[in-house]
């Protein structure tokens, strides 16, 4: 998700924005963490629901990946006909399918997948629909203005909650348009703009979800959303499904993140309680 | 979890019990499926909750396994200092840590992990405490009588729900007592008795959870609970944590099973909504 040095570009860019004025020599990556620590509720929040929506794509070796190569293989260890039961071994890159980005994915010492606070994993969900804009511009970046428009219609973004981008891209998951590669090998799909990322941090949002392969738009050169968001102790979720089946506000997202020690993310089961 | 031919032993044993009288030449495994198909609600059930309990153990390469050998290794592909981000690849046997047993784990053509009905994954949870019996007998099998005693105190087992055995074994997960191997290599930990398994099927229960390494007790030679339960289209969950923090009745279990096509189970994130 990066080339060497790209985090420096983002850190300089963040510094120029003046968010961290007065923090002196502290690196901007660390400064983001200091300036906008995520809320840490002692317990996950309660809610009521009458139905469950599965926000998870089914995953197989053919699932599209950011790097363009398969990231899952399955080897049969035991088979029913021969052994009386079936069992397999997976070889799996953590960032495959509907999957978590843990803070440590883009930081030196952030929380791993097993260490994310339980209070961050069952939280209110806001869904921001940018399908029309993304349909006309596959490089569309969801902006702070999109979030403010959402707030005008739905009330404040949920502090301690998750904001999901519904770009319509989940519909393309079985086609080449999901990665949407140009003649030069560059990808074109929507993502979160840095302005929106910073606005969500100011509002105390803890989770960022996208229906594409990356929190940043496909053509990003600096991974600005990743570098601002994850080192601050927040989580991301990529390749989310079925956001059309969830209301703009009022649902609760249940983040079935893998509780694997040292993991930088990993395949997850996501549900929305509506 | 089996030696060749053991399913035949179970099938004969089941046939002898007379549950499948009149089904003629149909194998008992298939007969169970016919006799007690699981409820298939169109949508998962609603509920209210005020707190969330994490029923998942943190998983690392050292986590104890049924076969006694490590079943997870993690290889670093990219590191923050060198590459600007962290990413790993896992090599993982499906039945490791807090994990799902999908119907196909012990059947020829049952549902895989990705195909389990959504309506089976967010369901009422009954917790049956057998800690005292298990403390005095590590080979204890939770019986139909234990379930009937639970019902006398708490009402009917939840049709369409999950029944979890709380044997106290989760406390031993970091010690040799979790596998509790004798001088001959046999394991000794509690599990579900076939009588209890059949009773749960009659009652329409869809999920069976244990805080040990197997649905069957460790000394089982025939895997009777596995062979009765899973081929009927029901799921199992092994190595469940924190059942002491969940009431006997009234909670909802959220089964964050991995949605991996062809998988016979896999690492899961389990929550109880209380």
Q: What are the tens digits of pLDDT across the range B165-188?
A: 999 999 999 999 999 999 999 999
Q: Specify the pTM.
A: 0.89
Is A210 strand, coil or helix?
strand
Is B49 strand, coil or helix?
strand
Q: What is the pLDDT of residue A15?
A: 47
Q: What is the pLDDT of residue A44?
A: 54
Report DSSP state, residue A91: E
pLDDT of B240 above 50: yes
| Interface list for A 107-166 with B (CB within 8 A) | 107-108, 114, 118, 121-122
- Average confidence (pLDDT) over B36-64: 82
Phi, psi of B145 (to 5 degrees): -65, -35
Q: Across the A/B interface, how many CB contacts are shorter than 8 Å?
A: 218
Q: What is the pLDDT of residue A46?
A: 77
Yes or no: say if B125 and B164 are a contact pair by the CB < 8 Å rule.
Answer: yes
Yes or no: say if A126 and A248 are a contact pair by the CB < 8 Å rule.
Answer: yes
- Average confidence (pLDDT) over B153-165: 97
Confidence band, pLDDT 50/70/90 cuts, at residue B47: confident
pLDDT of B62 above 50: yes
Q: What is the pLDDT of residue A40?
A: 57
Tell me the CATH number for domain A6-273: 3.50.30.50
pLDDT of B27 above 80: no
Residue closest to A226 by CA, chosen among B136, B78, B244 = B78
| Low-confidence residues in chain A, pLDDT < 50 | 1-6, 9-10, 12-34, 42-43
Tokens matching residue A147: 């979030």
Q: What is the pLDDT of residue A228?
A: 98
Phi, psi of A79 (to 5 degrees): -130, 150
Chain A nearest CA to B104, separation (Å)? 7
| ipTM of the complex, rounded to two decimals | 0.89
| Alpha carbon distance A223, A210 (integer Å) | 14
| Alpha carbon distance A228, B86 (integer Å) | 15
Count helices and strands (H / E) in chain B: 7, 14
**Residues forming beta bridges with residue B256, ordered by sequence position:** B269
Q: Looking at the partner chain, which of B52, B82, B265 has a beta carbon nearest the beta carbon of A122?
A: B52
Q: Residue A185: left if φ>0, alpha if ψ -120 to 50, beta else—which one?
A: left
Yes or no: say if A238 and B64 are a contact pair by the CB < 8 Å rule.
Answer: no
Q: Do A84 and B5 touch (CB under 8 A)?
A: yes
Beta strands (DSSP E) in chain B are: 47-49, 52-54, 72-78, 87-93, 99-101, 122-129, 141-142, 162-166, 191-192, 207-210, 235-238, 251-256, 265-267, 269-273
Q: Do B83 and A121 touch (CB under 8 A)?
A: no
Is A45 strand, coil or helix?
coil
Q: What is the pLDDT of residue A47?
A: 86
Chain B nearest CA to A111, separation (Å)? 12
The structural domains of chain B, with segments of one domain joined by +, span 6-273
Confidence band, pLDDT 50/70/90 cuts, at residue B75: very high
Of A9-13, B16-20, B42-46, B270-274, the range with the highest mean pLDDT is B270-274
Look at B47 and A187; give whichever has higher pLDDT. A187
For A63-99, the pLDDT digits (tens) are 999 999 999 999 999 999 999 999 999 999 999 999 9
């Amino acid at each position: 998700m990066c080339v060497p040095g790209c985090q420096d570009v983002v850190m300089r860019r963040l510094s120029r924005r003046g968010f961290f004025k007065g923090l002196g020599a502290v690196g901007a990556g660390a400064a983001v963490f200091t300036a906008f620590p995520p809320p840490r509720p002692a317990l996950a929040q309660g809610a009521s629901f009458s139905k469950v929506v599965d926000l998870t794509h089914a995953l197989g070796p053919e699932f599209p990946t950011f790097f363009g190569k398969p990231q899952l293989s399955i080897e049969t260890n035991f088979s029913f006909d021969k052994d009386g039961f079936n069992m397999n071994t997976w070889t799996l890159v953590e960032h495959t399918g509907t999957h978590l980005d843990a803070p440590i994915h883009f930081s030196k010492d952030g929380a791993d997948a097993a260490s994310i606070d339980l209070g961050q994993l069952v939280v209110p969900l806001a869904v921001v629909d940018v399908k029309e804009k993304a349909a006309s511009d596959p490089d569309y970046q969801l902006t702070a203005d999109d979030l403010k428009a959402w707030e005008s219609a739905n009330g404040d973004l949920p502090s301690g909650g998750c904001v999901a981008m519904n770009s319509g891209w989940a519909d393309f998951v079985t086609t080449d348009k999901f990665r949407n590669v140009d003649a030069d090998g560059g990808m074109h799909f929507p993502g979160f703009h840095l302005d929106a990322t910073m606005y969500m941090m100011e509002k105390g949002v803890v989770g960022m979800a996208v229906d594409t392969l990356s929190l940043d738009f496909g053509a990003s050169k600096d991974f600005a959303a990743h570098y601002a968001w994850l080192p601050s102790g927040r989580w991301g979720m990529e390749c989310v499904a079925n956001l059309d089946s969830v209301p703009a506000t009022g649902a609760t997202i249940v983040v079935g993140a893998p509780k694997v020690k040292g993991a930088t993310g990993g395949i997850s089961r996501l549900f929305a309680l509506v």
